[in-house]
Amino acid sequence: MVTTVKVVKSMLVLLEVLASGDGGFVVVVEVVIGGLGICSSYCSPVENQRKMALISAPSVIFLHMCVPMQGAQLKKHIDATLGSGNLREAVRLPPGEDLNEWLAVNTVDFFNQVNLLYGTLTEFCTASTCPAMTAGSKYEYRWADGVTIKKPIEVSAPKYVEYLMDWIESQLDDESMFPQKLGAPFPPNFQDVVKTIFKRLFRVYAHIYHTHFQKIVSLKEEAHLNTCFKHFVLFTWEFRLIDKGELAPLYELVESILQL
């Protein structure tokens, strides 16, 4: 399963990818230059070799590391079905595949997608423009991870998103939660953690739609945002990952996607 996801923002990044050859790993690097859109994607099996990639002027780099082959095949399946344009089909569990594996691969994909979207807004979503993590005037989210921060604290939207993304990353990096070895068991609370991840990712969409949609339109990212969100909603609905009540800030949009 996917273990490491790194997000690096830099104008010039020397990216070093070290892949261990244990059973065949795949390194996927997606580079975004300028606005949204994956400009270059590298995905191939790497065994016992170091890959050095010099990437010029990317604004965001996502690195998914060490995906054992089964995860890689599922990832290919996602890309292929997404390419067909049928999102309803793309979210379904492929026949014969393990549900937890499918949830795990998709969790990483959606995490990256939300990171990409929010990454284009970081200069517009600041502690002064967004002193609280809101979704319209009715909803405000406070941060608590239940471990280091037990009592919810009020933080700015960018701080909230930072906490949220760091927390998700720590879950993805936790081998006992997202097993790296093929066939390694998922913990009993795996799906609960996946649900919490999706619940929190939804909040980033809710903030973007309510507070930064005009900026998204001016950046001409509207269609991309809508497609990402549609995919997100169809996936979370298919596997009942988010409680209906949590969807309230964007319920009309969710309703139109699901055609309820």
The DSSP secondary-structure symbol of 94 reads: P
Phi/psi at 3 (nearest 5 deg)?
A: -115, -40
AA letter at 238: E
Q: Which of 5, 46, 114, 157 binds Zn ion (CB under 5 A)?
A: 157
C-alpha 57/C-alpha 37 separation (Å) is 15
Closest approach of Zn ion to the CB of residue 161, in Å: 8
Q: How far is CA 216 from the centre of its chain?
A: 18
Which one, 103 or 157, has the nearer CB to Zn ion?
157
Note whether 257 binds Zn ion by CB under 5 A. no
Interface pattern 205-224 for Zn ion (x via CB under 5 A): ------x-------------
- Residue 231: name the closest of 34, 85, 58 by CA: 85
Task: Give whichever of 9 and 76 is closer to Zn ion, judged by the CB atom.
Answer: 9
Q: Are 71 and 179 in contact (CB under 8 A)?
A: no
**Pairwise CA distance, residues 177 & 1, whole Å:** 10
Under rule CB under 5 A, residue 134 binds Zn ion = no
Taking alpha carbons only, the member of 74, 78, 39 closest to residue 56 is 39
Nearer to Zn ion, 118 or 178 (CB): 118
Amino acid in the structure at residue 126: T
Stretch that binds Zn ion, among 52-60, 203-211, 218-226, 237-245 (CB under 5 A): 203-211
Nearer Cβ to Zn ion, position 56 or 128? Answer: 128
Q: Which is nearer to Zn ion, 130 or 242 (CB)?
A: 130
What's the closest the beta carbon of residue 80 comes to Zn ion, in angstroms? 34
Site for Zn ion in 92-131 (CB under 5 A): 125, 130
Report the interface residues with Zn ion, using CB under 5 A: 125, 130, 157, 211
